[in-house]
Amino acid sequence: MRDSTTKIAKNLDDELEISRNNFNFAISDPTIQAQSSIFTKGRIVIDGIDELDPVFETKNLALETSQNVGIGKRIKIDVSNLPKGTDLFLGQVIVCKGKNITGKEFIIEELIKENIEHKNKNDDEIKCYGDSTIVSVNGPFCNEKNMNYSIFETFIKETINNDIKPDFLIINGPLIDISNHCLMTGIFPSFEQNGNFLQIDTIDDIFAKIVYPILVEIDPSINVFVVPHASESISKYTTYPQPSYSQKLEKILKTVSLPKNLHFVSNPSILNINGFNFGINNIDIFKNLKNLSLDNLFMNRFKTITRLMIENNSFYPCYPTIPTLNDKTISTKLSKELFENEEEEDEEEKKEEQKNYEDLIVTRNRMNKNIVVNEVNESCNIPSDININFMLHNSSYVPHLEQIENGCVSINSNSFHQGNKLGFYTVIKTSKKGDDSCDLTVDIKKV
């Protein structure tokens, strides 16, 4: 918890430096009593000790200052003067104008909108290299009552390999949803392959013998990006953000020679594909912010939250997180007791895995001139030098396709399987023009 709050405080100081460069007015300490209005910047928090079980009410809000401005102190805030429908949520970093007349409460008079210009460092990365097709599909990939992946396998063989033939395929987990009825009860159906029954003893067996063979069937000419999910049963870290599956899969499959077209990335991640930046946020941010955002009857919720993510340079700007983030999943301890059948890892292996997780700091891996992978650090920050063109979500809310004010397109295709029903997937096509610009088409299609 201390490490987390330290990073948040550092991020707030970094945000403060950006504001000082963008505005021609001074940023002052809101905790100091003053009769005149000042400009300040801080993070919205709960004014009380029950911060980990937040109830968003206008009467219990406070502004947390940065170390440089107010040594991290908090001051109760009054937001009654703000226009109805103003977007606020816990953890939001705001620039505002107001006054602290009594020394006990800062009255916010106005929110100041920051127009931070995002720029790509490398000009060659923002060019359209040519025509391309990108398909994005979200898990779960089997019915919630069974472990039957036959529909997903048919989708890969027929729709992906033969019909669409995309250049890039983004697969957002969970590959094996830990809330699946079979995993919850420990009662598995009989698994059959080519007329032969498969011996399935562990969750790792399900991946190695059922799921992985489907991934291998994807046409080798298609670049595939696989993103983990918090409810993923094979993931060592059932938290968010998450490192990639890579290390775990090498252990499950007993090999390090995975197909060259399979790329396992972190959650969240930023992919630069054919000159476009894809922000992949494999978590239900719309559900998690639901009880923390002021009701806004005049604006599109999907557009609003995506815009707030970009404005706050964060894939998950909400802090503290929702205690019921994984309320549909069983505990990690229970999962290990019921399903894992592995030998205990030695201490050196544990330390090495922990080091790999701690070193997950915005790495850029250029695969070729068309693909650059940015694995986002533990704070879920969106680097200020990257402009997100497409924000891909995995939410249980209805599928949506929205254009955000800064040019970003927010996409939620829901999941491949919605309970016992089939869901949706997204197809994005880019077509190069003579001046290196592109025509874009985005379709959300029924499975």
Low-confidence stretches of the chain (pLDDT < 70) are: 1-23, 48-56, 114-129, 236-238, 255-256, 290-299, 319-379, 434-437
CATH at residue 296 = 3.60.21.60
State the pTM of this model.
0.81
Structure tokens, 201: 């003893």
69: nearest Cα among 47, 91, 38, 48: 38
- Residue in this structure with the two tokens 């937040």, named with its chain if needed: 54
Give the pair of three-digit tokens for residue 399.
């599928």
C-alpha distance from residue 404 to each of 120, 302, 388, 409 (Å): 19, 9, 11, 6
Residues 147 and 287 in one domain: yes
Kindly state whether residues 72 and 171 are assigned to the same domain. no
Paired with 416 in beta bridges are: none
Where a domain ends, among 112, 134, 161?
Answer: 112
Is 263 found in the same domain as 305?
A: yes
| Alpha helices in 23-118, H assignment, sequence order | 67-70
Tokens 């499959």, located at residue: 253
* Cβ pair 392, 372 in contact under 8 A: no
Of the candidates 20, 3, 4, 10, the residue with the CA atom closest to the CA atom of residue 72: 10
Residue 343 forms part of a structural domain: no
How many whole angstroms separate alpha carbon 337 and alpha carbon 297? 46
The answer to whether residues 277 and 384 belong to one domain is yes
**Count of domains in the chain?**
2
3-state helix, strand and coil shares in percent for the chain, rounded to the nearest 5: 25, 25, 50
All residues at 6 or more sequence positions from 140 whose CB lies less than 8 Å from its CB, including other chains: 174, 177, 180, 415, 416, 417
* Residue 259, SS3 per DSSP: coil
Q: What tens digit of pLDDT does each residue of 57-67 get? A: 778 889 999 88
**In a domain? residue 269:** yes
User: Do 138 and 242 lie in a common domain?
Assistant: yes
Task: Based on the fold, state whether residues 264 and 154 are members of the same structural domain.
Answer: yes
For 312-346, where are the alpha helices, taking DSSP H only? 332-339
Task: Please report the pLDDT score of residue 210 as a whole number.
Answer: 92
Q: How many CB atoms lie within 10 A of CB 181?
A: 13
Instruction: Report the sign of the C-alpha dihedral through residues 343, 347, 349, 354, in that order.
Output: positive
**404 — phi, psi (to 5°)?**
-90, 160
Instruction: Answer with the one of 112, 137, 156 that is the final residue of a domain.
Output: 112
Long-range contacts of 332-337 (CB under 8 A, 24+ apart): 332/238, 335/178, 335/183, 335/203, 335/233
CB atoms inside a 10 Å sphere around CB 323: 10
Is residue 299 a part of any domain in this protein?
yes
- What whole-number distance in Å separates Cα of residue 74 and Cα of residue 51? 13
Per-residue HEC secondary structure of 182-243 comes to: HHHHCCCCCCEECCEECCCCCHHHHHHHHHHHHHHCCCCCCEEEEECCCCECCCCCCCCCEC
Domain enclosing residue 152, as ranges: 123-323+351-446
Alpha-carbon separation of residue 294 from 22, 55, 90, 286 (angstroms): 27, 11, 10, 13
Q: Give Cβ neighbours of residue 186 (< 8 Å, ≥ 6 apart).
A: 338, 339
Domain end (from 84, 112, 140): 112
Residues 230 and 303 in one domain: yes
